[in-house]
Chain A
Amino acid sequence: MVSPRTAAAIDRVKASIESEGVLSISGIRKEFPGVLALDDVQLRIRPGTVHALMGENGAGKSTLMKIIAGVYQPDAGEIRLRGQVVVLKSPLDALEQGISMIHQELALMNWMTVAENIWIRREPKNRFGLIDHAEMARMTAELFDRLNIKLDPRAQVSELTVAQKQMVEIAKAVSHNSDVLIMDEPTSALTEREVEHLFAIIRDLRARGIGIVYITHKMNELFEIADEFTVFRDGKYVGTHSAHDVTRDDIIRMMVGREITNMFPKVDCPIGDTILEVRNLTLPGVFHDVSFSLRRGEILGLAGLVGSKRSNVAEALFGVTPAESGQILIDGQEVQIRTPAQAMAHGMAFLTEDRKETGCFLTLDCLENIQSALITRSHVKNGFVQQREVTRLAEEMAQTLRIKTPNLQETVENLSGGNQQKLLIARWLLTKPRILILDEPTRGIDVGAKSEIHRLITELAAQGVAVLMISSELPEVLGMSDRIMVMHEGHVSGFLDRAEADQVKIMSLAAK
């Protein structure tokens, strides 16, 4: 029997969890070198609810979730779990305190069985101190029964589908008796049926009183599964509302509305004839029936959220990962582009999204970085690079782009992000491209360098270069583009003219 006093205490805790939420955070601030990722952010998750997190790319959702899951430490702010202030030192610590995260890239051990993955570090032992596999399988089966998951506990994880792996992760979280479950875009790789099953499980977890944080870009999911939602924008808290009394447009309006500052104004320049035409470009499972055309002097902005496969289209155009069907026409002639070298032969250039991964040669000097694309096609005689001429061209380009480095012999890893980006632009400008594909040309660089790059893109367009510019920053897309193409999950969801485009219209197309 519980004494009246204890019962009263329990009631008080229950009441406080009801009002404060099972998890409540406030004043969270997180700074990375040069970027304020989160600024005075709050969030309150009530038990037995599904709480959706919404926001554009780079709004700070993922950073916040990593803080809640113990991956990052906040620079300031307070995290309360069941009313108590807690410090989450590591993902393991967060897990032990009752917070589970299901990662976008699933974190299971492929070569072990389902049961081994769930009970790792907590394996049941037999009397010899060895792992009792029979007992472990029984415990797993019991857990799966409760969750209505149909999976063989002894199956090897590498054999499972993405959806099944997710089930395993959810079961693992439940087995830890977690109070809070974080799901980061869980449906991005699921079929419709699998999504239904996942939602059934989520509703069941909700009925058990678990607080579920659900990150998504998909509006329809929000209306189907969420009870409440919170919107972030540029690392700031915008608001929390019930999911039952809002419309799509309300949410979009909360998500956009980023301020347009430090933009180099676009100069209108004459647009020439069509240089690139893409018809029904398809890479099965990635993007489908992508068609568009691009004209000389035109800047075509390409907008879309994470998972819209914008970059994959660019990679296909440039032959990095070619498409499987569809046509690419340059100057009206159909061309085959299977390698970057072939794309370059047609006058294309491609500034990739990830400077460090696919752009810079960090261990080499500036000169080598600038000349690498040029010398694949010209300025080589009998195998020898015509270094004097190439160096002169590189120096001129470095001056035109105002690359700040003591000299071109400086190793690139010592340069700032903005200068590295300019260096890569210099690399491609040396090849005198007619079609320039830019994937996030100003990501992660400071404001000054940003507007210089904007000015440069505009100048190139004025010289007749056709530009395809992928960007996650709506102000950049709106400010720079003559036309805007929006993608959603591998499909083109619409085109907008410069005159009619605004942030709400783009987001409506991007977040169907």
Chain B
Amino acid sequence: MSSQDITARTAPHTQRRLPTEVNILLVLVGIAAVFEILGWIFQGQSFLFSLNRLKIMILQVSVIGIIAVGVTQVIISGGIDLSSGSVVGAVAMVAMSFAQVSTYARAVYPALTDLPMIVPLLIGLGFGAIVGLINGWLIAYTKIPPFIATLGTMVTVRGFAKWYTKGQPISFPTEGFAWIGSGMMPVLIFILVAAIFHVAMKYTRYGKFTYAIGANAQAARVSGIDVERHLIKVYVIAAMLAALAGMVVAARGQTAQAGMGLAYELDAIAMAVIGGVSLNGGRGSILGTAIGMIIFGVIISGFTFLRLDAYYQEMIKGAIVVAAVVADVHRQQKRRKAS
């Protein structure tokens, strides 16, 4: 009889809801269809059925997609990370300085050239981890809002990137290091990272705690979760993913500049929000963000395809992010009314 209680007695307003990801996927299909139609009308050709265009599109967004995987976890935990763009710039510089070839006469560290690819990679990830530790510590123990804490590191880390070589770009990486940004590598790295953290968020204690803290930090604490320590983990992971993205960018361009990754954090946050991650925390998924990333890519390459001025693109991008947040707030209100 007790199993009947679970299955049979349905409260009036609890009809089965489709997962949010399905809705987002529908939005993606809709937007792609619109561009396809506009393509035939204005350009006389298909938007979607061009392998080359799709390849460029996915390459364009993958690097920021790697950042978005980390940012998604931060937002689900109830926070925000504005420092990822600066971490991209700083790590590009630092990692590249340990990845130069010996044949280049003006290397940053002439004694440390031709190192195996793993050395700059670990140094870059280590640098990211330090920034993440600072972010996490500030947020967890000084209790300053994540927005302010990561705004501070955003400015400081960017300053570090400029100071590192007094503004000089760093170039001539080893073949090994350049490999991580070559061809479709950025896309592969994104897929790998997204898959790992999709599993982590869904099936591990790390993921469960992240959702719990974002849903209700007080309740998480009472449940026995060490909220402070966990938040530090989340910010370290986010910053390390930004660091990875920084190295991919530098390796792909075979050069590092202090200004790299400018405003990437906003695009990453946009991908997450478009993908249904709630800025209030406790809701969203890596899968959603991945779809959000593709939506983002379709819109950007769609505008390029329609030869829309780059200035318009930026303005519209901003409007889309605001629209996604409005949609999120609207969803919350509807839920609140329902309950």
List residues of chain A with CB under 8 Å of any chain B CB: 318, 320, 339-341, 343-344, 350, 352, 357-364, 368, 371-373, 375-377, 380, 383-385, 387, 395, 398-400, 402-408, 410-411, 413-416, 427
Contacts and interface: CB of A to CB of B under 8 A. Distances in A.
B203 interface: yes
A363 B278 contact: yes
A368 B208 contact: yes
Contact of A358 (B6, B222, B225): B222
B222 A318 contact: yes
B218 A357 contact: yes
A410 B12 CA distance: 13
Interface stretch (B121-129, B209-217, B312-320): B209-217
A372 B216 CA distance: 12
Contact of A361 (B11, B206, B212, B221): B212
A487 B151 CA distance: 47
B2 A362 contact: no
A320 to B, nearest CB: 6
Interface string B215-244: 110111111111000000000000000000
B166 interface: no
Given A360-B216, A373-B223, A395 B204 contact: no
B333 interface: no
Contacts of B219: 352, 357-361, 372
Nearest to A356: B216
Contacts of A383: 204-206
A357 B217 CA distance: 9
Contacts, number: 123
B52 to A, nearest CB: 41
19 contacts: A340-B223, A358-B218, A358-B222, A359-B216, A361-B215, A361-B216, A364-B282, A372-B208, A372-B223, A373-B223, A383-B204, A384-B203, A387-B203, A406-B14, A410-B14, A413-B335, A414-B11, A414-B339, A416-B11
A484 B225 CA distance: 32
Contact of B215 (A362, A377, A414): A362
Given A340-B224, A406-B14, 20 more contacts: A341-B224, A352-B222, A359-B219, A362-B215, A363-B282, A364-B282, A368-B211, A368-B212, A376-B205, A376-B223, A383-B205, A385-B203, A387-B203, A398-B6, A399-B6, A404-B6, A405-B11, A407-B6, A413-B335, A413-B336
B211 to A, nearest CB: 6
B9 A404 contact: yes
Interface in B1-25: 2-3, 5-7, 9-11, 13-14, 16
Interface string B324-336: 0000000000011
Of the four ranges (under 10, 10 to 19, 20 to 34, 35 or more), the interface on chain B belongs to: 35 or more
A94 B2 CA distance: 53
Contacts of B278: 363
B230 to A, nearest CB: 10
Contacts of A350: 222
B215 A399 contact: no
B41 interface: no
A363 B215 contact: yes
B216 A414 contact: no
A350 B222 CA distance: 8
B283 interface: yes
A413 B220 CA distance: 16
Contacts of B206: 383
Contacts of A398: 6
A232 to B, nearest CB: 30
Contacts of B51: none
Most chain A CB within a 10 A radius of its CB, from B215, B221, B223: B223
Nearest to A408: B6
B212 A405 contact: no
A376 B224 contact: yes
A404 B5 contact: yes
Given A363-B215, A364-B211, A380-B205, A339 B226 contact: yes
B338 interface: yes
Contacts of A413: 335-336, 338-339
Contact of A415 (B11, B216, B220): B11
B204 A340 contact: no
A352 B281 CA distance: 22
B221 A340 contact: yes
Contacts of B338: 413-414
Contacts of A358: 216, 218-219, 222
B7 A400 contact: no
Contacts of B7: 406-407
B146 to A, nearest CB: 18
* Top 7 closest pairs, chain A to chain B, by CB: A361-B215, A399-B2, A376-B224, A363-B282, A372-B223, A341-B224, A373-B223
Given A362-B216, A415-B11, A399 B5 contact: yes
A368 B10 CA distance: 20
A434 to B, nearest CB: 15
B14 A414 contact: yes
Nearest to B3: A399
Nearest to A406: B10
Contacts of B281: 363
Contacts of B280: 363
A373 B203 contact: no
A374 to B, nearest CB: 9
A373 B282 CA distance: 17
Contacts of A368: 208, 211-212
B233 to A, nearest CB: 11
Given A358-B222, A362-B216, A385 B3 contact: no
A385 B205 contact: yes
A373 B224 CA distance: 6
A361 B282 contact: yes
Contacts of A427: 223
A54 B11 CA distance: 39
A340 to B, nearest CB: 5
A377 B338 CA distance: 35
Nearest to B16: A406
Contact of B212 (A372, A395, A410, A411): A372
Contacts of A400: 2
Given A352-B222, A360-B216, A410-B14, A385 B6 contact: no
Given A341-B226, A410-B14, A402 B2 contact: yes
Nearest to A361: B215
A448 to B, nearest CB: 13
A358 B338 CA distance: 21
A376 B211 contact: no
A352 B222 CA distance: 8
B222 A320 contact: yes
A84 B16 CA distance: 53
A358 B219 CA distance: 4
Contacts of B283: 363
B222 A405 contact: no
Contacts of A403: 5-6
A403 B338 CA distance: 20
Interface in B262-293: 278, 280-283
Contacts of B225: 341, 372, 376
Most chain B CB within a 10 A radius of its CB, from A340, A361, A387, A415: A361
A404 B11 contact: yes
B200 to A, nearest CB: 8
Contacts of B218: 357-358
Contacts of A318: 222
